[in-house]
Amino acid sequence: MRARSSWMLGLALFCSACEDPKFDSPLTLGSGQVVPPSQLKAGYEAYMQYCRPCHGDKGDGRGYSAYGLRPPPRDFTQQKFKFGGVNPENLPPDSELKRIVRGGLHGTAMLPWDITDRELDAVLQYIKTFPKRACVEQGGKPEECKSRWETEAPGTPVAKADPKYEGQRKTDAIEQGKRLYHAKAQCSGSCHPNYVTHQELFEISKAMTGTEMTAFSPEMYHAQPKDSEYCLEWKAGWKKLDERECALPVKVMPVDFTRDPVRAGTSPAELFRTIGSGIGGAGMPPWTGTLTDDELWALAYYVGSLTDLKGTPAVKALHQKLQDPANLAWLPPPKAEPAVPGTPAAPGTSAPSAPRSNTPSR
Ligand code: HEC
């Protein structure tokens, strides 16, 4: 028994030694950062101690503790990030990756890590080495296996300082955010749940977009699951990172703000950043550019007000109001018959030009 366990220990040491990646020369990663081999070695050591159980020896998200975790740990070979705080088409800068590792992601196995700055700096450089190594291991040529970390500069963070709305300004922002959420920004409908009655939704849509809804989906008060770009299993036989095809995509569930933990935080500034930058690979587009900063703050304050309701009697009352049979049965009054061509419309009754149906769909 004793001989056997010491043999197993020897094998474990032998194998971890043989997997120890060799970094003989500096690597240029991120925006031209030259990373010396000593830092990559320190990063490897910190990674093996803290991150490997979930993110795996090869950084592919398949560590021994990863089995069955939802969401699954990030596969760093994919070079895609959800909460990078930049346009998801860009890689996140180290400052944003540090925020994620230090703060953790609420409601997931990604806990906040209280490691030294030196370890954190090193581990972030180390995780950038996984994509190329995965590609070379597949038989790809090193020059064709260049990672995005080697060729691209990271994006610019969208974060802004919280305007700290108070009193009436805050109430107005929340009201504006509620209208934006349910109409212009289309947060609800096919992703997140709605939090207003049929009648309120009809009125908000009409006032904001001119659309007169004619029907309501029975699913409108539930989040709708989505396929994401994250991958649990790749099809075999790839040789270039951007040619990989996914055999098993990860499904993601948009957050219900009155029930679920919100991964990257619920303060107005955190929500502004998540809504502004979108959630990479998970179908949530970046809203900066489409919405003004004022509108983004309004949304952040509204979503924050929903998360504040969690666990209070008010949230129970809201859910009861929405699930009330009278609400679920509410339909807009039938529209007046369109005027027969040639007959002049009575003043004040002309309908807005052909309203689009905005029925929330799955
Ligand atoms: C107990 C499991 C676990 C450990 C240990 C762990 N992580 Fe994670 N990590 C996760 C999970 C799960 C996610 C995916 C969360 C999601 O998709 O919402 C994640 C996501 C990430 C992301 C991606 C965030 C994004 O915006 O896409 C980074 C970066 C990361 N982890 C770094 C680290 C580092 C560095 C360490 C070690 C210091 C570490 N993790 C340790 C489970 C873990």
Ligand 1 atom at shortest distance from the alpha carbon of 52:
5
The matching CATH number, chosen from 3.90.700.10, 3.30.70.20, 1.10.760.10, 3.40.350.10, for 19-151 is 1.10.760.10
Q: How many Å is the Cα radius of gyration of the chain?
A: 25
- Nearest residue by C-alpha to atom 5 in ligand 1: 51
Q: What is the pLDDT of residues 64-105, one digit of tens each?
A: 999 999 999 999 999 999 999 999 999 999 999 999 999 999
Burial class (CB in 10 A: 0-12, 13-18, 19+), 138: middle
Distance 92 CA to ligand 1 centre (A): 14
Q: What is the pLDDT of residues 201-224, one digit of tens each?
A: 999 999 999 999 999 999 999 998
* Residue 335 confidence class, pLDDT cut points 50, 70, 90: confident
* Cα dist from 116 to 33, 38, 104, 112, 122, whole Å: 20, 16, 15, 13, 10
What per-residue confidence (pLDDT) applies to 71? Answer: 95
- Nearest residue by C-alpha to atom 8 in ligand 1: 110
As a whole number, mean pLDDT of residues 135-156 equals 94
When mean pLDDT is compared across 104-113, 115-124, 345-354, the lowest value belongs to 345-354
The finding on whether 82 has its CB within 6 A of some atom of ligand 1 is yes
Share of the chain above pLDDT 90, in %: 79
Ligand 1 atom at shortest distance from the alpha carbon of 97:
29
Distance 55 CA to ligand 1 centre (A): 7
Residue 343 pLDDT > 70, yes or no? no
The finding on whether 92 has its CB within 6 A of some atom of ligand 1 is no
Cis before 71 (ω within 30): yes
User: In angstroms, rounded to a whole number, what is the distance separating the alpha carbons of residues 228 and 97?
Assistant: 21
Tokens of 94: 């180290």
Torsion of CA 181, 186, 192, 193, to 10 degrees: 70
Under 8 Å between Cβ of 101 and 113: yes
Higher pLDDT, 10 or 184: 184
CA–CA–CA angle 353, 358, 361 (5° rounding): 160
User: In angstroms, rounded to a whole number, what is the distance separating the alpha carbons of residues 201 and 171?
Assistant: 19
Distance 13 CA to ligand 1 centre (A): 26
Segments making up each domain of the chain, as ranges: 19-151, 160-333
What per-residue confidence (pLDDT) applies to 334? Answer: 85
Residue 30 pLDDT > 60, yes or no? yes
Residue 351 pLDDT > 50, yes or no? no
Residue 158 pLDDT > 70, yes or no? yes
The finding on whether 109 has its CB within 6 A of some atom of ligand 1 is yes
Share of the chain above pLDDT 70, in %: 88
Name the residue of 74, 120, 229 to mutate for ligand 1: max ligand atoms within 8 A of Cβ: 74
What per-residue confidence (pLDDT) applies to 160? Answer: 97
The finding on whether 246 has its CB within 6 A of some atom of ligand 1 is no
Under 8 Å between Cβ of 191 and 219: no
The finding on whether 174 has its CB within 6 A of some atom of ligand 1 is no
Q: What is the pLDDT of residues 292-301, one digit of tens each?
A: 999 999 999 9
Ligand 1 atom at shortest distance from the alpha carbon of 47:
37
The total number of residues written for the chain in this structure: 362
When mean pLDDT is compared across 25-29, 76-80, 313-317, 349-353, the lowest value belongs to 349-353
CB neighbours (10 Å) of residue 259?
15
Under 8 Å between Cβ of 255 and 195: no
Q: What is the pLDDT of residues 169-196, one digit of tens each?
A: 999 999 999 999 999 988 997 899 999 9
User: In angstroms, rounded to a whole number, what is the distance separating the alpha carbons of residues 116 and 124?
Assistant: 12
Under 8 Å between Cβ of 210 and 352: yes
Q: If you average pLDDT over every residue of the chain, what do you get?
A: 88
* Residue 353 confidence class, pLDDT cut points 50, 70, 90: very low
As a whole number, mean pLDDT of residues 121-140 equals 95
